[in-house]
Structure 1
Amino acid sequence: MQKIIIVLTVLLAFVSNVFSGELAVVSGKVIDIQTGKPLPGATVTIPDLRISVNADQSGTFKLRSVPAKGQFLVEIRFIGYETVTKTVDLSKDTDWEFALKPTLIETREVVITGTISSGSNKRNSTSVNIINKDKLLLPSSNIIDALAKSPGISQVSTGPSISKPVIRGLSYNRVVTIDNGIKQEGQQWGDEHGIEIDQFKANRVEVLKGAASLIYGSDALGGVINLLEPIPVPEGEISGEFLSNYSSNNGLTSSSLMLTGNQNGIVWRGRGTYKNAYSFKTPTGYFPNSGFNETDFSGMIGLNKSWGYSHLNFSSFRNNIGFYEPSFDDQGNYVDEDGGLFSKDDLKNRSLLYPKQDIRHYKISLNNNFVIGSGNLKLDLGYQKNQRRELEDGPDPSLFFNLNTYTGDARYYIGQKNGWEPVFGASTEIGHSENRGEEFLIPAYDTYGVGAFAYLKKNWEHSTFNMGVRYDFRKNVGKSLIADGEPLFEAFHNQFSNISGALGFTHKFTEKLNFKTNIGSAFRAPNPAELGSNGEHEGTFRYEIGNSNLQPERSYQVDAELAYDGDIINASASIYNNYIHDFIYAAHHGEFIDDLPVYNYGQVNANLYGAEASLVLHPVHFIHFENTFGYTHAQNTSLDRPLSFIPAGVLRNELRYEPEIQHVQEPFVSVGIANYFKQNRVDEEFETPTAGYTLLNASVGATFFAGKQLIKIYISGNNLLNKKYYDALSRYKPGRLDQTDLSLGIYNPGRNITFGVYVPFILKHSS
């Protein structure tokens, strides 16, 4: 790790001497399109250059140290106005004027960066959900929990501390998470592990729904979660934020502090976060030893110059999670290993009991964008260390899994010419794991992957067309292991190659009506857990056995979306169909090892299709009525039965009232209901259905001034009626009695009231 930090730091220090470019300063003004009045505080951003500036009191702004050449997409935002995106040519345009139109509804005209070519969402053929900072601040126990309220997005949960993202019914290694341009490599294959990322790091999240192997290679069958940290502040500014909240259900306390600055193009940012919770409470009582604590640190230092930018990012994530294997007395009460009842102090003790997990993830990356002539080269280099320790009865881990991953991704953008945008790219990935404990779940392994792609996009006045092709090669090498004189893991060596492709089209019928469609193929190579597992999963109470003869999954998907952005109505509807050949899944066939059901990995063909819709009504400026719907139908076509663990259909309705109160900024009161349909489409071989249910939620908040300092305060309530329910994707929902004597049957968390405060501050204003 120290050597890698030194090497990347040296690269960062010398990169400005390798690339040089002419210096330019551009200025402009942001005004109201109807009145011509200036809009002070409007934000002007060039996402691909990672620079932004705020308009002053006269609505004017100035961007320094930008390249003298090149075409870039500019995004202009101001509260209460439609977001505008425009492509500018820095060699021609140095004096800009942007006129914004007032609106009651946030529009879809925002820049998407998680696709191969950054562009307006309306000109991007991929279906994308945008989750902004205000929604990420809503009460949640982790980053995936915060995202799972958007249509098409769900979570596989193991209590409040562990959530796996699910996009249109697909999860685990079928969904890619991108953090600072780096593909997150941890334990996305496991049920009992979350995403090892600080939930407060992201300033915005883009969720790309659908096959995305063209961009990210293996694993992106279901979609991509692209976490975007804040763009560096304007030159001369030092600012930050502090947030803290407390949740009543499990005593979760979360606090995070961030500082960031920019001095003559030297940019930096640092953040620290701490979370702590005791056992969560269901409507029938507490579930023992289900608390957790999390400590995160992250930072960035870099250069924003006329040649582009180079940012060195690092992060440290540590999460300790308690586990409890249910045991009952004659009255059905939970008991400890000695047969005694848990006291109230035990259930609210923030010191975790054994068994528990200690999950650690360290990451360092160097993210670059070099302007070369009229084009630019994006280069992302990353190193990650993921460690999983399972502690059964003491501080020494019984299971210790250690994974090191090295990644590299390069993309060259030739630059726009007559509406054409060609892009070429290549990526590589090297992973090395080892087992350091006395217990083993998967074999030590090495994995290697390389890929290359070509992409072309054509823009017309009202339409866009894009196409691309990608080649990938991947190799997995599993190592044999003999434990206690018996062979535990057999060695395996396999390699796979694949060609993926995609076609996309968008068309703007009118200024308000937009259509997009995308056809794509994708693939996923089997991961080492599926190829070589042979052990007990502590958190999921089952024994898994891999299959070294598995073949790659291949996906063929089509989706389409029609969206309308009106003055008081914002609506969209989308449909999709995803056929997956050689779908990999673990199934139980009646066998037990150590009283645990055995799950063997096999393959079938599968078909997933569904629909998503949203309708937002804003009849007057103080009323906001939002409605979203999502449904996925998933079938095991080989065995003619449903796939397991597919999210239930859900309809969400929220009414938000935003009154005008003197001396109070942005006050609001909201009431919402979440209607989850019953999920009877389950694989009855090893899964139980769940009943439908409705949850009542509400929140209230406002922003106040303490002198010149803004303070945002809110109170939010989830499951206010303390409804007893099982989520269809909860790992704690009832199991089949003929499979295991554990029969968990643990309800999802009951009523939860969260009190929160958010304080953005500026220590030094921009020059």
Structure 2
Amino acid sequence: MLKGLLTVIGFPLAICPGLSLAQDTLRLQEVQVHGQHSPVKRNSISTTISAKQLLTTKGGNLADALVDVPGVSTLKSGGTIAKPVIHGLHSNRILLLNNEVRLEGQQWGAEHAPEIDPFIAERIHVVKGAETIRYGAEALGGVIMVEPPALPKTADFGGMFNLVGASNGRAGATSLMLNGGLKALPGFGWRIQQSLRKAGNIKTADYYLGNTGLRENNFSVALGYTRKKSQYEAFYSKFNTDLGVLYSAHVGSMEDIEARIALGRPTEQYAFDYGISAPKQRVNHQLLKLKVHYDFSENQQLDLVYAFQNNHRREYDFRRGDREAIPITDLVLRTHTVDGQLTSYTKNGHKRNYGFNAVVQVNNNIPGTLANTFIPNFDTYTTGAFVMQRWITGDFELEAGLRYDYKYFDAAGFRYSYNIEGPEETINEQYYGGENSFHNVTGSAGMRWNLRNNSQLISNIGLAWRAPTANELFSNGLHHGAGLYEVGDPELKSEQGYKWTTSFEHREDLYTIDAAVYTQYINNYIYSKPGLQYRQTISGTFPVFSYEQANAFFYGADIAGTYQLLPSLSYRLTASVVRARNLDDQTHLPYIPSNRMGQQLTWNFNPQNNKDHYLQFGHQQVARQSRYEQGSDYAAPPNGYTLFSLAAGSSINLGKQVLRMHLQADNLFNNSYKDYMNRYRYYAHEMGRNITIRLAYQFN
């Protein structure tokens, strides 16, 4: 598979160590500070995005920060809502960890962006495997870990100020992070952080997208105290965002929506505007984390984490009169989680982990929306326990784990319909929901072999699972944020996925290479299938999508490489392919990323002194999704596209302070194109040229 991919690409696998996102992969996992274990296993196929690399994506969302990771793509809803995709899987199949706590929001929606502020991240780890042993269910595709800076343990005061401006949408973002300690209390540390984002209507190559602005206001605070054998940490964050939903996704009649899909772009003309009106989303997410770490001895440690999350999602639609100020969907999800882990080390380097997880969730529809609920109220209780063991023998490491999970799910909802025929108007009430229970045994095994000549081979096989979500089971109505009419199936069963990933890494002074292949079989794979019909509601006419289930097979390959052409000139290549089949009827699955490749040439103006003065030219090529069943969607996949970018960066040392500057132009030639992985490709094109300037001032 890799040989065929290289032949198609037609470029040498060559890379520069300074530019490869995978350069630090699996290098830092076993660094221990006060006995704390790393979040990433040594035998995982993973990529670590460093703080320096994150500076070039500041001001964007979480998906923007992962754009250059091979095997990771983006599922979009318009130009502002995006969520990461790993090897063709997204949403509840990707586990997101925010400061060691699994994110629990309404992430079942394809247009529900993760409630995580990337400004808080110092590093982001991306694990591309079935990782459920430590973290529980819903990690069939992988795990994304957002890691903030470590809390200081001295009285030193420092921080960072970020300022970002972008031409498209006239967007702006700013963030301030401060941290320090107390002289009177050695070992105590604190950190506070605040960020703001604002943008107006996005512009494609030749027209504005109406109602695509955003506003964001986020805050976090952390306190920590370190003693000789113990550590204590408290963390609180608040994420607030208002997102406009593309006007063109809400159409009045069946004739209008068919004409708009045939045209492929809005029929209305919009100007630039910062205003956000219905349809729109308003999301508030709060997270509280309390952690205790205790060292019983040099070889035995205990970690306990309690977290509470409150997710409040409101969606607004066109309504008559003053009803537009009333949300049409109003959901509050409260989640309590408890995680415990006991880690033991032996003198020969072997390691064993025992752990448990418990989750309690309550989801409620807030009364007063004057509309049917899209998903029911529900309660869910989940418990799990696991054991993991690592063995080390010379250059060979082996790790294996086993886990059991049980989940209880109780849903209850009502739908109302009105009968205006006859002498009197009547209201019909229909109950839906019910009790379900799911349980599963999962396991994983992985090995790492340190070969000669700076090479290593990593292989991992894992069994993961997830229970169907409330929308997959019970939705039967308009999903306003997505602009779709969705129909669930209460008979859906749990998914079970078996994933095998193997990676080869080799590093030299002049070049490095990282190549990975994977296969994954998913039993009872749940997916949203276009129904090829429209449903008219009081809010407009919308395409119908129904949830179905089938056995599926995924496979593909990722490549990253660099080559040092000259002392000042380096070349970087990334490429990925993914294939997915419905094994029940031998057809292609919808919404699977197509082949993609990226290249970069970077000129470093002062490589001998390792100064951050550089000029970078980038190229991205995305192929048309040709693995598509004719007539199975409302519109065929769009053509492939080629984009170019130009970036420059510099840093200035001001004593102990550092000022970093980054200027970047994306879609340099203002191409007009569509992406198959955008849910709004039926109605609109992608963003046109965008010029972004980023300033980061770090002080101590």
TM-score by length of 1: 0.80
Give 1:580's aligned residue. Answer: 522
Aligned pair partner of 1:176 in 95, 98, 102? 95
Give 2:604's aligned residue. Answer: 658
Give 1:434's aligned residue. Answer: 364
Aligned pair partner of 1:671 in 617, 633, 636? 617
Alignment of 1:368-517 (within 5 A): 368-373=292-297, 374-392=299-317, 393=319, 394-436=324-366, 437-439=369-371, 440-484=373-417, 485-510=427-452, 512-517=454-459
Distance across 1 between alignment mates of 2:517 and 2:359: 33
Distance across 2 between alignment mates of 1:559 and 1:354: 44
Shift of 1:391: 2.2
% identical aligned pairs: 28
Distance 1:555 1:109, change over 3 A: closer
Distance across 2 between alignment mates of 1:520 and 1:526: 20
Count of aligned pairs between the two proteins: 644
Q: Which amino acid aligns with 1:639?
A: D
Shift of 1:487: 3.8
Shift of 1:587: 1.9
Deviates more, 1:369-378 or 1:268-277: 369-378
Contact map agreement 1:111 1:118 (CA 8 A) in 2: no
3-state DSSP of counterpart to 1:137: helix
Distance across 2 between alignment mates of 1:276 and 1:381: 33
Distance 1:104 1:680, change over 3 A: closer
Contact map agreement 1:144 1:163 (CA 8 A) in 2: yes
Distance across 1 between alignment mates of 2:191 and 2:453: 39
3-state DSSP of counterpart to 1:491: strand
Q: Which amino acid aligns with 2:666?
A: N
Q: Which amino acid aligns with 2:375?
A: I
Q: Which amino acid aligns with 2:393?
A: W
3-state DSSP of counterpart to 1:748: coil
Give 2:12's aligned residue. Answer: none
Distance 1:756 1:544, change over 3 A: same
Deviates more, 1:201-210 or 1:708-717: 708-717
Q: Which amino acid aligns with 1:142?
A: N
Contact map agreement 1:276 1:294 (CA 8 A) in 2: yes
Give 2:508's aligned residue. Answer: 566
Alignment of 1:14-53 (within 5 A): none
Deviates more, 1:587-596 or 1:282-291: 587-596
Give 2:81's aligned residue. Answer: 162
Shift of 1:551: 0.7
Distance 1:483 1:501, change over 3 A: same
Shift of 1:632: 0.4
Contact map agreement 1:247 1:253 (CA 8 A) in 2: yes
3-state DSSP of counterpart to 2:473: helix
Contact map agreement 1:114 1:226 (CA 8 A) in 2: no
Shift of 1:596: 2.3
Contact map agreement 2:152 2:188 (CA 8 A) in 1: no
Shift of 1:489: 4.7
Q: Which amino acid aligns with 1:555?
A: G
Contact map agreement 2:21 2:47 (CA 8 A) in 1: no
3-state DSSP of counterpart to 2:134: helix
3-state DSSP of counterpart to 1:215: coil
Aligned pair partner of 1:712 in 654, 660, 667? 660
Give 2:43's aligned residue. Answer: 125
Contact map agreement 1:253 1:275 (CA 8 A) in 2: yes
Shift of 1:197: 0.8
Distance 1:343 1:542, change over 3 A: closer
Contact map agreement 2:302 2:340 (CA 8 A) in 1: yes
Distance across 2 between alignment mates of 1:476 and 1:224: 24
3-state DSSP of counterpart to 1:589: strand
Q: Which amino acid aligns with 2:313?
A: R
Alignment of 1:91-170 (within 5 A): 106-108=23-25, 110-112=27-29, 118=37, 124-139=42-57, 141-170=60-89
Residues 29-66 of structure 1 deviation map (CA, whole Å, 9 limit, x = unaligned): xxxxxxxxxxxxxxxxxxxxxxxxxxxxxxxxxxxxxx
Residues 164-189 of structure 1 deviation map (CA, whole Å, 9 limit, x = unaligned): 11000000110000011111011211
3-state DSSP of counterpart to 1:588: strand
3-state DSSP of counterpart to 1:602: strand
Distance 1:119 1:710, change over 3 A: closer
Distance 1:113 1:435, change over 3 A: farther
Distance across 2 between alignment mates of 1:540 and 1:387: 18
3-state DSSP of counterpart to 2:471: helix
Shift of 1:686: 2.2
Contact map agreement 2:166 2:691 (CA 8 A) in 1: yes
Shift of 1:384: 0.5
| Higher RCO, 1 vs 2 (CA within 8 Å, ≥6 residues apart) | 2
3-state DSSP of counterpart to 1:666: coil
Q: Which amino acid aligns with 1:646?
A: I
Give 1:615's aligned residue. Answer: 561
Give 2:5's aligned residue. Answer: none
Contact map agreement 2:153 2:226 (CA 8 A) in 1: no
Give 2:462's aligned residue. Answer: 520
Distance across 2 between alignment mates of 1:625 and 1:324: 38
Distance across 2 between alignment mates of 1:370 and 1:650: 46
TM-score by length of 2: 0.87
Within the alignment, does 1:761 sit opposite 2:662 as a pair?
A: no
Contact map agreement 1:622 1:657 (CA 8 A) in 2: yes
Alignment of 1:613-652 (within 5 A): 613-652=559-598
3-state DSSP of counterpart to 1:495: strand
Shift of 1:340: 11
Residues 542-596 of structure 1 deviation map (CA, whole Å, 9 limit, x = unaligned): 1112222111000111111110011111101110000000001122334432132
Distance 1:664 1:126, change over 3 A: closer
Residues 466-497 of structure 1 deviation map (CA, whole Å, 9 limit, x = unaligned): 11110000111111314353345512111011
Aligned pair partner of 1:198 in 114, 117, 121? 117
* RMSD, aligned CA: 2.8
3-state DSSP of counterpart to 2:118: coil
3-state DSSP of counterpart to 1:213: coil
Distance across 2 between alignment mates of 1:467 and 1:662: 44
Contact map agreement 1:513 1:563 (CA 8 A) in 2: yes
Distance across 1 between alignment mates of 2:115 and 2:465: 24
3-state DSSP of counterpart to 2:234: strand
Give 1:358's aligned residue. Answer: 282
Q: Which amino acid aligns with 2:576?
A: G
Contact map agreement 2:22 2:514 (CA 8 A) in 1: no
Shift of 1:319: 0.7
Distance across 2 between alignment mates of 1:276 and 1:416: 52
Distance across 1 between alignment mates of 2:246 and 2:607: 49
Distance across 1 between alignment mates of 2:24 and 2:556: 24
Residues 711-731 of structure 1 deviation map (CA, whole Å, 9 limit, x = unaligned): 111210101011111112111
Aligned pair partner of 2:685 in 726, 740, 747? 747
Distance across 1 between alignment mates of 2:456 and 2:656: 42
Shift of 1:445: 0.6
Shift of 1:134: 2.1
Residues 505-540 of structure 1 deviation map (CA, whole Å, 9 limit, x = unaligned): 111112501001011111111111111112211132
Distance across 1 between alignment mates of 2:356 and 2:267: 59
Shift of 1:647: 0.9
Q: Which amino acid aligns with 1:747?
A: H
Contact map agreement 1:476 1:528 (CA 8 A) in 2: no
Give 1:20's aligned residue. Answer: none
Shift of 1:706: 4.5
Distance 1:544 1:288, change over 3 A: same
Give 1:58's aligned residue. Answer: none
Distance 1:301 1:120, change over 3 A: closer
Q: Which amino acid aligns with 1:543?
A: Y
| Unpaired runs of at least 5, structure 2 | 1-15, 418-426
Distance across 2 between alignment mates of 1:104 and 1:322: 33
Distance across 2 between alignment mates of 1:150 and 1:668: 21
Give 2:678's aligned residue. Answer: 730
Distance across 2 between alignment mates of 1:343 and 1:520: 49
